[in-house]
Amino acid sequence: MTDVDVIRVMGGARLAGDVSVVGAKNSALKLMAAALLATGRSVLTNVPRITDIAIMAEVLRRLGCEVEQDEDRVIIDVPERLGTEADYDLVRRLRASICVLGPLLARCGHVRVAHPGGDAIGSRGLDMHVEGLRRMGADISGEHGFVIATAPKLHGATIWLDFPSVGATENLLMAAVLANGRTEIDNAAREPEIVDICRMLTDMGAEISGAGSSRLVVDGVASLNPVEHRTVGDRIVAGTWAFAAAMTRGDVTVHGIDPGFLEIALDKVATAGGQVDTAADSFRVRMADRPRAVDVVTLPFPGFATDLLPMAVGLASVSEGSSLVTENIFDGRFMFINEMSRLGADIRTDGHHAVVRGVERLSGAPVTATDIRAGAGLAIAGLCADGVTEIRHVHHIDRGYPSFESDLRGLGVEVERAAAPPDQFDF
Protein backbone atom coordinates (compact mmCIF):
# COMPACT_ATOMS: atom_id res chain seq x y z
CA MET A 1 0.00 0.00 0.00
CA THR A 2 1.76 3.11 -1.24
CA ASP A 3 0.85 6.61 -2.28
CA VAL A 4 1.19 5.56 -5.90
CA ASP A 5 -1.04 2.50 -5.82
CA VAL A 6 -4.15 2.50 -7.97
CA ILE A 7 -7.44 0.62 -7.66
CA ARG A 8 -9.17 -0.48 -10.85
CA VAL A 9 -12.84 -1.40 -10.82
CA MET A 10 -14.79 -2.93 -13.67
CA GLY A 11 -18.07 -1.18 -14.36
CA GLY A 12 -21.40 -2.90 -14.69
CA ALA A 13 -21.33 -4.68 -11.34
CA ARG A 14 -24.50 -5.23 -9.33
CA LEU A 15 -23.58 -5.43 -5.66
CA ALA A 16 -25.15 -8.38 -3.87
CA GLY A 17 -24.41 -10.17 -0.61
CA ASP A 18 -23.40 -9.41 2.95
CA VAL A 19 -20.71 -7.07 4.25
CA SER A 20 -19.62 -6.29 7.80
CA VAL A 21 -18.29 -2.99 9.14
CA VAL A 22 -15.93 -2.69 12.07
CA GLY A 23 -15.35 0.17 14.48
CA ALA A 24 -15.60 3.79 13.42
CA LYS A 25 -12.34 5.48 12.48
CA ASN A 26 -13.72 8.77 13.76
CA SER A 27 -14.36 7.20 17.15
CA ALA A 28 -11.35 4.89 17.55
CA LEU A 29 -8.84 7.71 17.03
CA LYS A 30 -10.40 9.80 19.80
CA LEU A 31 -10.73 6.78 22.12
CA MET A 32 -6.98 6.26 21.74
CA ALA A 33 -6.46 9.85 22.87
CA ALA A 34 -8.87 9.36 25.77
CA ALA A 35 -6.71 6.50 27.04
CA LEU A 36 -4.06 9.14 27.89
CA LEU A 37 -6.27 10.27 30.77
CA ALA A 38 -5.53 7.20 32.91
CA THR A 39 -2.25 5.57 33.88
CA GLY A 40 -2.15 1.87 33.06
CA ARG A 41 -3.37 -0.44 30.29
CA SER A 42 -6.48 0.35 28.26
CA VAL A 43 -7.72 -2.01 25.56
CA LEU A 44 -9.81 -0.91 22.61
CA THR A 45 -11.59 -3.56 20.54
CA ASN A 46 -13.40 -3.48 17.18
CA VAL A 47 -10.72 -1.07 15.93
CA PRO A 48 -10.28 -0.79 12.13
CA ARG A 49 -6.89 -1.71 10.68
CA ILE A 50 -6.32 1.49 8.73
CA THR A 51 -3.47 3.90 8.16
CA ASP A 52 -4.84 6.56 10.51
CA ILE A 53 -4.86 4.16 13.47
CA ALA A 54 -1.19 3.34 12.85
CA ILE A 55 -0.35 7.06 12.75
CA MET A 56 -2.20 7.73 16.00
CA ALA A 57 -0.43 4.77 17.60
CA GLU A 58 2.88 6.40 16.72
CA VAL A 59 1.69 9.74 18.15
CA LEU A 60 1.00 7.97 21.46
CA ARG A 61 4.33 6.13 21.39
CA ARG A 62 6.20 9.41 21.04
CA LEU A 63 4.30 10.64 24.09
CA GLY A 64 5.76 7.72 26.06
CA CYS A 65 3.03 5.09 25.70
CA GLU A 66 3.50 1.48 24.68
CA VAL A 67 1.03 0.64 21.92
CA GLU A 68 0.32 -2.77 20.40
CA GLN A 69 -2.03 -3.61 17.55
CA ASP A 70 -3.43 -7.15 17.53
CA GLU A 71 -6.10 -7.97 14.93
CA ASP A 72 -8.96 -5.62 15.87
CA ARG A 73 -7.49 -4.60 19.22
CA VAL A 74 -5.28 -1.70 20.24
CA ILE A 75 -3.57 -2.08 23.61
CA ILE A 76 -2.26 1.14 25.15
CA ASP A 77 -0.01 1.23 28.21
CA VAL A 78 0.05 4.79 29.54
CA PRO A 79 2.94 5.79 31.84
CA GLU A 80 2.66 7.93 34.96
CA ARG A 81 4.73 10.67 33.27
CA LEU A 82 3.75 11.51 29.72
CA GLY A 83 5.53 13.52 27.06
CA THR A 84 3.85 16.78 26.20
CA GLU A 85 4.74 17.45 22.56
CA ALA A 86 3.04 16.09 19.44
CA ASP A 87 5.42 16.52 16.52
CA TYR A 88 4.54 18.13 13.21
CA ASP A 89 5.70 15.21 11.06
CA LEU A 90 2.86 13.06 12.45
CA VAL A 91 0.23 15.68 13.26
CA ARG A 92 0.32 17.07 9.70
CA ARG A 93 -0.71 13.62 8.44
CA LEU A 94 -3.63 13.22 10.80
CA ARG A 95 -5.86 16.07 11.86
CA ALA A 96 -7.47 13.90 14.55
CA SER A 97 -4.19 13.96 16.47
CA ILE A 98 -5.13 17.46 17.71
CA CYS A 99 -7.44 15.61 20.11
CA VAL A 100 -4.43 14.87 22.35
CA LEU A 101 -4.50 18.56 23.31
CA GLY A 102 -7.30 18.25 25.87
CA PRO A 103 -6.20 15.08 27.68
CA LEU A 104 -2.51 16.08 27.79
CA LEU A 105 -3.35 19.50 29.19
CA ALA A 106 -5.59 17.91 31.83
CA ARG A 107 -2.98 15.28 32.79
CA CYS A 108 0.26 17.25 32.50
CA GLY A 109 -0.63 20.94 32.78
CA HIS A 110 1.35 21.75 29.65
CA VAL A 111 1.19 20.66 26.01
CA ARG A 112 2.76 21.63 22.69
CA VAL A 113 0.91 20.32 19.65
CA ALA A 114 1.61 21.10 16.01
CA HIS A 115 -1.17 22.60 13.93
CA PRO A 116 -2.90 19.64 12.28
CA GLY A 117 -3.16 18.50 8.68
CA GLY A 118 -5.52 15.81 7.36
CA ASP A 119 -7.92 15.89 4.43
CA ALA A 120 -7.94 18.92 2.14
CA ILE A 121 -11.67 19.52 2.41
CA GLY A 122 -11.75 23.07 3.70
CA SER A 123 -10.78 25.27 6.59
CA ARG A 124 -11.31 23.81 10.04
CA GLY A 125 -9.82 26.18 12.57
CA LEU A 126 -9.06 25.50 16.20
CA ASP A 127 -10.77 28.64 17.51
CA MET A 128 -13.47 26.80 19.45
CA HIS A 129 -10.92 24.38 20.99
CA VAL A 130 -8.75 27.28 22.10
CA GLU A 131 -11.54 29.51 23.40
CA GLY A 132 -13.09 26.68 25.38
CA LEU A 133 -9.81 25.73 27.03
CA ARG A 134 -9.15 29.36 27.84
CA ARG A 135 -12.49 29.53 29.63
CA MET A 136 -11.28 26.55 31.67
CA GLY A 137 -8.19 28.48 32.74
CA ALA A 138 -5.63 27.59 30.09
CA ASP A 139 -3.04 30.04 28.80
CA ILE A 140 -2.74 29.35 25.06
CA SER A 141 -0.40 30.81 22.47
CA GLY A 142 0.96 29.94 19.05
CA GLU A 143 4.61 29.67 18.10
CA HIS A 144 6.40 28.32 15.01
CA GLY A 145 3.39 26.27 13.89
CA PHE A 146 2.60 24.89 17.34
CA VAL A 147 -0.29 25.40 19.76
CA ILE A 148 1.18 25.82 23.23
CA ALA A 149 -1.18 25.46 26.21
CA THR A 150 -0.44 25.72 29.93
CA ALA A 151 -2.75 25.26 32.91
CA PRO A 152 -1.49 24.06 36.31
CA LYS A 153 -5.08 22.94 36.98
CA LEU A 154 -8.08 23.40 34.73
CA HIS A 155 -11.36 24.51 36.27
CA GLY A 156 -14.97 24.08 35.28
CA ALA A 157 -16.63 26.61 33.00
CA THR A 158 -19.72 27.24 30.92
CA ILE A 159 -18.83 26.97 27.24
CA TRP A 160 -21.03 27.76 24.25
CA LEU A 161 -19.83 26.42 20.91
CA ASP A 162 -20.62 28.62 17.90
CA PHE A 163 -21.00 25.41 15.87
CA PRO A 164 -21.50 21.83 17.13
CA SER A 165 -17.93 20.86 16.25
CA VAL A 166 -17.13 17.21 16.90
CA GLY A 167 -13.41 17.88 17.44
CA ALA A 168 -13.96 20.80 19.82
CA THR A 169 -16.59 18.87 21.79
CA GLU A 170 -14.22 15.92 22.19
CA ASN A 171 -11.21 18.01 23.21
CA LEU A 172 -13.16 20.05 25.75
CA LEU A 173 -14.88 16.95 27.10
CA MET A 174 -11.56 15.17 27.67
CA ALA A 175 -10.11 18.24 29.36
CA ALA A 176 -13.18 18.71 31.57
CA VAL A 177 -13.24 15.21 33.09
CA LEU A 178 -10.14 16.01 35.21
CA ALA A 179 -10.88 19.71 35.82
CA ASN A 180 -11.93 21.13 39.16
CA GLY A 181 -15.68 21.63 39.33
CA ARG A 182 -18.45 21.49 36.74
CA THR A 183 -18.13 22.17 33.02
CA GLU A 184 -21.16 22.72 30.81
CA ILE A 185 -20.73 22.47 27.04
CA ASP A 186 -23.72 23.93 25.18
CA ASN A 187 -24.39 23.37 21.47
CA ALA A 188 -22.22 20.26 21.78
CA ALA A 189 -21.92 17.78 18.92
CA ARG A 190 -24.38 14.87 19.12
CA GLU A 191 -22.73 12.31 16.84
CA PRO A 192 -22.69 8.62 17.85
CA GLU A 193 -18.91 8.95 18.15
CA ILE A 194 -19.44 11.56 20.90
CA VAL A 195 -21.74 9.16 22.72
CA ASP A 196 -19.08 6.47 22.33
CA ILE A 197 -16.31 8.54 23.93
CA CYS A 198 -18.70 9.55 26.72
CA ARG A 199 -19.36 5.86 27.40
CA MET A 200 -15.66 5.09 27.58
CA LEU A 201 -14.91 8.07 29.83
CA THR A 202 -17.81 7.16 32.13
CA ASP A 203 -16.50 3.60 32.39
CA MET A 204 -13.11 5.11 33.31
CA GLY A 205 -14.79 6.90 36.22
CA ALA A 206 -15.78 10.26 34.69
CA GLU A 207 -19.06 11.91 35.64
CA ILE A 208 -20.82 12.97 32.43
CA SER A 209 -24.49 13.57 31.69
CA GLY A 210 -26.27 14.56 28.50
CA ALA A 211 -24.43 12.30 26.01
CA GLY A 212 -26.26 12.43 22.70
CA SER A 213 -27.86 15.79 23.48
CA SER A 214 -26.69 19.30 22.69
CA ARG A 215 -25.76 19.98 26.35
CA LEU A 216 -23.02 18.03 28.10
CA VAL A 217 -22.47 18.43 31.84
CA VAL A 218 -19.16 17.19 33.26
CA ASP A 219 -18.26 17.09 36.95
CA GLY A 220 -14.50 16.77 37.18
CA VAL A 221 -12.91 13.94 39.16
CA ALA A 222 -9.43 13.55 40.64
CA SER A 223 -8.34 10.61 38.48
CA LEU A 224 -9.55 8.00 36.01
CA ASN A 225 -8.91 4.28 35.55
CA PRO A 226 -7.91 2.34 32.41
CA VAL A 227 -10.65 0.26 30.78
CA GLU A 228 -11.50 -2.15 27.98
CA HIS A 229 -13.90 -0.62 25.48
CA ARG A 230 -15.54 -1.74 22.21
CA THR A 231 -15.59 0.88 19.46
CA VAL A 232 -18.96 1.78 17.99
CA GLY A 233 -19.60 0.63 14.39
CA ASP A 234 -18.59 2.88 11.48
CA ARG A 235 -21.73 4.57 10.15
CA ILE A 236 -19.85 6.20 7.25
CA VAL A 237 -18.51 2.90 5.89
CA ALA A 238 -21.97 1.39 6.39
CA GLY A 239 -23.54 4.33 4.57
CA THR A 240 -21.07 3.89 1.71
CA TRP A 241 -22.38 0.36 1.13
CA ALA A 242 -26.00 1.54 1.38
CA PHE A 243 -25.50 4.05 -1.43
CA ALA A 244 -23.42 1.56 -3.43
CA ALA A 245 -26.30 -0.93 -3.31
CA ALA A 246 -28.74 1.73 -4.47
CA MET A 247 -26.50 3.01 -7.27
CA THR A 248 -25.84 -0.45 -8.70
CA ARG A 249 -29.45 -1.64 -8.30
CA GLY A 250 -28.16 -4.27 -5.94
CA ASP A 251 -29.13 -6.16 -2.79
CA VAL A 252 -26.73 -5.70 0.14
CA THR A 253 -27.05 -6.47 3.84
CA VAL A 254 -24.71 -4.48 6.08
CA HIS A 255 -23.82 -5.90 9.51
CA GLY A 256 -22.21 -4.34 12.57
CA ILE A 257 -24.02 -1.00 12.69
CA ASP A 258 -27.03 0.49 14.46
CA PRO A 259 -29.21 1.66 11.52
CA GLY A 260 -30.46 4.48 13.74
CA PHE A 261 -27.09 6.16 13.14
CA LEU A 262 -28.04 6.43 9.44
CA GLU A 263 -31.72 7.30 9.69
CA ILE A 264 -31.67 10.23 7.25
CA ALA A 265 -29.22 8.60 4.83
CA LEU A 266 -31.33 5.43 4.65
CA ASP A 267 -34.45 7.56 4.24
CA LYS A 268 -32.81 9.21 1.20
CA VAL A 269 -32.10 5.76 -0.26
CA ALA A 270 -35.73 4.78 0.33
CA THR A 271 -36.99 8.02 -1.25
CA ALA A 272 -34.82 7.22 -4.29
CA GLY A 273 -36.79 4.00 -4.69
CA GLY A 274 -34.83 1.53 -2.58
CA GLN A 275 -36.32 -0.95 -0.15
CA VAL A 276 -34.67 -0.61 3.24
CA ASP A 277 -35.13 -3.18 6.01
CA THR A 278 -33.54 -2.65 9.42
CA ALA A 279 -32.66 -4.84 12.39
CA ALA A 280 -30.91 -4.18 15.71
CA ASP A 281 -27.36 -4.14 14.28
CA SER A 282 -27.83 -4.45 10.52
CA PHE A 283 -29.81 -3.21 7.55
CA ARG A 284 -30.58 -4.37 4.01
CA VAL A 285 -30.85 -2.19 0.91
CA ARG A 286 -32.47 -3.42 -2.30
CA MET A 287 -32.96 -1.37 -5.47
CA ALA A 288 -34.81 -2.94 -8.38
CA ASP A 289 -35.00 -0.03 -10.84
CA ARG A 290 -33.07 3.09 -11.72
CA PRO A 291 -32.96 5.40 -8.66
CA ARG A 292 -35.08 8.55 -8.56
CA ALA A 293 -33.42 11.92 -7.92
CA VAL A 294 -33.44 13.17 -4.33
CA ASP A 295 -32.14 16.40 -2.80
CA VAL A 296 -29.55 16.22 -0.02
CA VAL A 297 -28.42 18.81 2.54
CA THR A 298 -25.51 18.03 4.86
CA LEU A 299 -25.88 19.04 8.50
CA PRO A 300 -24.39 18.06 11.86
CA PHE A 301 -25.81 14.86 13.35
CA PRO A 302 -28.62 13.82 13.29
CA GLY A 303 -28.58 15.48 9.85
CA PHE A 304 -27.13 13.97 6.69
CA ALA A 305 -23.40 13.35 7.26
CA THR A 306 -20.97 15.42 5.20
CA ASP A 307 -18.74 12.34 4.87
CA LEU A 308 -21.49 10.69 2.80
CA LEU A 309 -21.80 13.59 0.37
CA PRO A 310 -19.61 11.98 -2.35
CA MET A 311 -21.88 8.93 -2.26
CA ALA A 312 -24.98 11.13 -2.46
CA VAL A 313 -23.50 12.90 -5.49
CA GLY A 314 -22.73 9.51 -7.01
CA LEU A 315 -26.33 8.36 -6.52
CA ALA A 316 -27.63 11.61 -8.03
CA SER A 317 -25.32 11.16 -11.02
CA VAL A 318 -27.08 7.96 -12.11
CA SER A 319 -30.60 8.81 -10.93
CA GLU A 320 -33.60 9.75 -13.04
CA GLY A 321 -34.08 13.51 -12.81
CA SER A 322 -32.09 16.34 -11.22
CA SER A 323 -30.88 16.63 -7.63
CA LEU A 324 -29.74 19.59 -5.56
CA VAL A 325 -26.91 18.69 -3.17
CA THR A 326 -25.97 21.29 -0.55
CA GLU A 327 -22.82 21.14 1.59
CA ASN A 328 -22.95 23.09 4.85
CA ILE A 329 -19.98 21.73 6.79
CA PHE A 330 -16.72 21.91 4.77
CA ASP A 331 -16.07 24.54 2.15
CA GLY A 332 -13.79 22.27 0.14
CA ARG A 333 -15.95 19.14 0.06
CA PHE A 334 -16.75 19.66 -3.65
CA MET A 335 -13.10 19.32 -4.68
CA PHE A 336 -13.86 15.87 -6.09
CA ILE A 337 -16.59 17.12 -8.46
CA ASN A 338 -14.12 17.57 -11.34
CA GLU A 339 -13.17 13.91 -10.97
CA MET A 340 -16.83 12.85 -11.04
CA SER A 341 -17.23 14.88 -14.20
CA ARG A 342 -14.40 12.85 -15.77
CA LEU A 343 -16.67 9.83 -15.35
CA GLY A 344 -19.38 11.59 -17.34
CA ALA A 345 -21.45 12.96 -14.47
CA ASP A 346 -23.43 16.11 -15.31
CA ILE A 347 -22.74 18.42 -12.35
CA ARG A 348 -22.80 22.19 -11.98
CA THR A 349 -21.65 23.83 -8.76
CA ASP A 350 -22.48 27.25 -7.34
CA GLY A 351 -20.85 27.97 -4.01
CA HIS A 352 -21.93 25.26 -1.62
CA HIS A 353 -24.64 23.92 -3.95
CA ALA A 354 -24.34 21.33 -6.70
CA VAL A 355 -27.01 20.60 -9.29
CA VAL A 356 -26.68 17.04 -10.57
CA ARG A 357 -28.57 15.87 -13.64
CA GLY A 358 -28.66 12.10 -13.70
CA VAL A 359 -27.43 10.09 -16.66
CA GLU A 360 -28.24 6.49 -17.54
CA ARG A 361 -24.61 5.34 -17.45
CA LEU A 362 -21.26 6.82 -16.51
CA SER A 363 -18.05 6.19 -18.45
CA GLY A 364 -14.92 4.63 -16.97
CA ALA A 365 -11.88 6.91 -16.75
CA PRO A 366 -8.77 7.54 -14.65
CA VAL A 367 -9.63 9.67 -11.62
CA THR A 368 -7.82 10.91 -8.51
CA ALA A 369 -9.02 10.61 -4.93
CA THR A 370 -8.85 13.98 -3.17
CA ASP A 371 -9.80 12.69 0.28
CA ILE A 372 -10.98 9.52 2.05
CA ARG A 373 -14.68 9.68 1.18
CA ALA A 374 -14.15 11.09 -2.31
CA GLY A 375 -11.91 8.11 -3.07
CA ALA A 376 -14.57 5.63 -1.99
CA GLY A 377 -17.28 7.61 -3.78
CA LEU A 378 -15.34 7.61 -7.05
CA ALA A 379 -14.76 3.86 -6.82
CA ILE A 380 -18.47 3.23 -6.25
CA ALA A 381 -19.37 5.55 -9.14
CA GLY A 382 -16.99 3.52 -11.30
CA LEU A 383 -19.23 0.50 -10.74
CA CYS A 384 -21.95 2.36 -12.65
CA ALA A 385 -19.66 3.16 -15.57
CA ASP A 386 -18.90 1.45 -18.85
CA GLY A 387 -15.40 -0.01 -18.84
CA VAL A 388 -12.68 0.32 -16.22
CA THR A 389 -12.31 3.15 -13.74
CA GLU A 390 -8.85 3.64 -12.25
CA ILE A 391 -8.62 5.53 -8.96
CA ARG A 392 -5.27 7.09 -8.07
CA HIS A 393 -4.03 8.32 -4.67
CA VAL A 394 -5.84 5.43 -3.01
CA HIS A 395 -3.82 5.94 0.17
CA HIS A 396 -6.74 8.21 1.03
CA ILE A 397 -9.13 5.25 0.90
CA ASP A 398 -6.75 3.25 3.10
CA ARG A 399 -7.19 5.90 5.79
CA GLY A 400 -10.89 5.11 6.21
CA TYR A 401 -11.73 1.69 4.75
CA PRO A 402 -9.87 -1.30 6.26
CA SER A 403 -10.78 -3.91 3.60
CA PHE A 404 -12.17 -1.95 0.69
CA GLU A 405 -11.10 -4.17 -2.20
CA SER A 406 -11.91 -7.46 -0.46
CA ASP A 407 -15.33 -6.15 0.55
CA LEU A 408 -15.99 -5.15 -3.06
CA ARG A 409 -14.95 -8.61 -4.26
CA GLY A 410 -17.21 -10.21 -1.68
CA LEU A 411 -20.13 -8.25 -3.15
CA GLY A 412 -19.38 -9.38 -6.70
CA VAL A 413 -17.08 -6.66 -8.06
CA GLU A 414 -14.15 -7.27 -10.35
CA VAL A 415 -11.46 -5.14 -8.71
CA GLU A 416 -7.67 -5.06 -8.55
CA ARG A 417 -4.99 -3.07 -6.78
CA ALA A 418 -1.67 -2.39 -8.48
CA ALA A 419 1.28 -0.05 -8.52
CA ALA A 420 0.63 2.96 -10.71
CA PRO A 421 2.62 3.14 -13.96
CA PRO A 422 5.61 5.52 -13.73
CA ASP A 423 3.96 8.18 -15.88
CA GLN A 424 1.25 8.57 -13.22
CA PHE A 425 3.62 9.61 -10.48
CA ASP A 426 2.95 13.10 -9.13
CA PHE A 427 6.07 15.18 -8.70
Q: Which residues form the catalytic set?
A: 119
Pairing of β 110-114 and β 139-143: unpaired
Label each residue of the chain as H, E or C. CCCCEEEEEECCCCCEEEEECCECHHHHHHHHHHHHHCCEEEEEECCCCCHHHHHHHHHHHHCCCEEEEECCEEEEEECCCCCCEECHHHHCCCHHHHHHHHHHHHHHCEEEEECCCCCCCCCCCCHHHHHHHHHCCCEEEEECCEEEEECCCCECCEEECCCCCHHHHHHHHHHHCCCECEEEEECCCCCHHHHHHHHHHHHCCCEEECCCCCEEEEECCCCCCCCEEECCECHHHHHHHHHHHHHCCCEEEEECCCHHHHHHHHHHHHHCCCEEEECCCEEEEECCCCCECCCEEECCCCCECHHHHHHHHHHHHCCECEEEEECCCCCCHHHHHHHHHHCCCEEEEECCEEEEECCCCEECCEEECCCHHHHHHHHHHHCCEECEEEEECCHHHHCCCCCHHHHHHHCCCCEEEEECCHHHCCC
Does the annotation list 347 as a binding residue? no
153 marked as binding residue: no
Q: How far is CA 421 from CA 2, 365, 404, in A?
A: 13, 15, 21
Show binding-site residues for phosphoenolpyruvate: 25-26
